[in-house]
Chains A and B, each alone.
Chain A
Amino acid sequence: MSAETFTTSNDLDAINRLYRERGWSDGLPIVPPSVERVARMLAFSSLAPHHVIARLPPGFGEATVEQVAINAVMAGCDPEYLPILIAATKAVAETSFNIQAVEATTNPAAVWLILNGPIVQKLQINASFNCLGQGAWANATLGRAMRLILQNIGGAKPGEMDRATQGQPAKYTFCCAENESLSAWDPLHVERGFKAEQSTVTVVAAEGTLNMNTHSKQSEEMLRVFAQSMIHPTSNEYCHGGEPWLVLAPEHADILKAGGLTKAQVKQRLWELSKMPARDLSVKELLRAQASRRDEYGQIGPDTMLSIARDPSDIWFIVAGGPGTHTVYVPCFGNSRAVTQLIDMTHLNQLP
């Protein structure tokens, strides 16, 4: 089905007023999705504009290529970003991502996009200084487009089907790339079964970011202080067995690598060091954990040592950022699993 069009006065202020009144914006001014701008973006996909990528909960709106392009234009995306957003839309609709719950929950779950592969250089997606902050056009507009897609196509409007109690700033935009050239290990997409020369987007249901600043130069000590920072009794990850993520500073990654650790060993050690006695949970959360993790633990008593994730391999990290002693813990929704999707580079490879 073709997206609906309408004709209006070509006045930026009036257009923004109209999109604001109709609840079509995220609260920030938009780029008007004109027929010409959307057509320029659609040139970056071989798929038919009416091709349905997915039906997005909670409203089960049809995410066609055209609808995705419209929202991407509004977010300020360059036309060549479209293949990323098609892949990301497909990724969030995977059952294991649990987008129905991620969008409708009272928790502050944002969708974090992580880019890997040659696309990062090609589109200048920031993986270095301030990669989770402001400053890079691709990062800012891609994350924003994802949110507009979820809101306008999926129907997750704040206070309506998006029931987030407060939400979080990352619900405006949350996108970065892995700093693959500074990583001591295989990049994320290779770890998740793709080839280094392929480009991928990974979607994560993220509940926030916690700065973990340590000047430690010893790998075991560094992992201990990370693990202790990740422990918190109000965490959804301990309640359900989650999928915690870290954005490792390149220099922290170097120290861990120099300590002789593989990625799997880092995960294993973090998993062991971050166990928390169930008694630290509130009584209500203990009841919830007992229901949610019975299949894993059997009966959970006050002395049960709860792990942050069901398995060490459920802990994930990327290496990203510039120089500095800061690693970021990204606590996740709990009942969601990240999904990595291949990006169709056909049209992007034709760019100079």
Chain B
Amino acid sequence: MVDMITLYNPTAAQSKGSDVDSIYAPRFDTLQGKVLGFIDNAKPNFNHLIDDIAELMVARHGIARVIKRQKRAASVPAPEAVYAEMVEHCDLVITGSGD
């Protein structure tokens, strides 16, 4: 008879069914007239990238207004005040890692 052993799986479920589960906001049918926020991660040239994207979003998708805010550094979260401002004024926010 083969000697058997019971072992543990060392991994933890990654955020499924938890309090930090991603909750997706309702999707828009159109971007027409919406206010768009950008969080610039402060890496060199990311400001230029989001300047161009903002221009395209206004010209092609009818975005009404753009709010851009820069974080101090890519490796830290944006200040709470920036999140509060985005929540208050923006319909959608784009963040990301530029370099």
A residues near B, CB below 8 A? 1, 3-11, 15, 24, 32-35, 38, 55-56, 59-64, 66-67, 70-71, 74, 98, 101, 105, 148, 152-153, 155, 239-240, 284, 287-288, 291-292, 294-295, 333-335
CB-CB under 8 A for A34 and B15, given A55-B20, A291-B42, A292-B73: no
Measured CA separation A284–B6 after assembly (Å)? 54
CB-CB under 8 A for A59 and B14, given A240-B73, A288-B42, A335-B76: yes
Residue of B nearest to A102 (CB): B75
Task: List, in ascending order, chain A residues with CB within 8 A of B96's CB.
Answer: none
> In the assembled complex, how far is the CB of residue B74 from the closest CB belonging to chain A, in whole angstroms?
8
Task: List, in ascending order, chain A residues with CB within 8 A of B70's CB.
Answer: 291
Decide yes or no whether B72 CB sits under 8 A from chain A: yes
Contact B11 A24 (CB under 8 A): yes
Contact A8 B11 (CB under 8 A): no
Contact of A24 among B2, B9, B14 (CB under 8 A): B9
Measured CA separation A55–B20 after assembly (Å)? 9
CB-CB under 8 A for A55 and B18, given A291-B73, A335-B73: yes
Contact B75 A333 (CB under 8 A): yes
Contact B10 A60 (CB under 8 A): no
Q: Mark B66-98, 1 if CB is under 8 A from A, else 0.
A: 000010110110000000000000000000000
Contact B12 A153 (CB under 8 A): yes
Measured CA separation A33–B11 after assembly (Å)? 12
Contact B9 A3 (CB under 8 A): yes
A-B contact pairs, 6 of them (CB 8 A): A4-B8, A32-B5, A34-B5, A38-B8, A291-B70, A335-B76
Q: How large is the interface on B (under 10, 10 to 19, 20 to 34, 35 or more residues)?
A: 20 to 34
Q: Mark B1-27, 1 if CB is under 8 A from A, else 0.
A: 011111111111111001010000000
Contact of B12 among A10, A15, A62, A333 (CB under 8 A): A62
Contact B10 A24 (CB under 8 A): yes
CB proximity to A under 8 Å, residues B44-81: 44, 70, 72-73, 75-76
Task: List, in ascending order, chain A residues with CB within 8 A of B13's CB.
Answer: 1, 61-62
Contact A105 B8 (CB under 8 A): no
Task: List, in ascending order, chain A residues with CB within 8 A of B2's CB.
Answer: 9-10
Measured CA separation A7–B5 after assembly (Å)? 5
Measured CA separation A281–B2 after assembly (Å)? 64
> In the assembled complex, how far is the CB of residue B62 from the closest CB belonging to chain A, in whole angstroms?
31
> In the assembled complex, how far is the CB of residue B18 from the closest CB belonging to chain A, in whole angstroms?
7
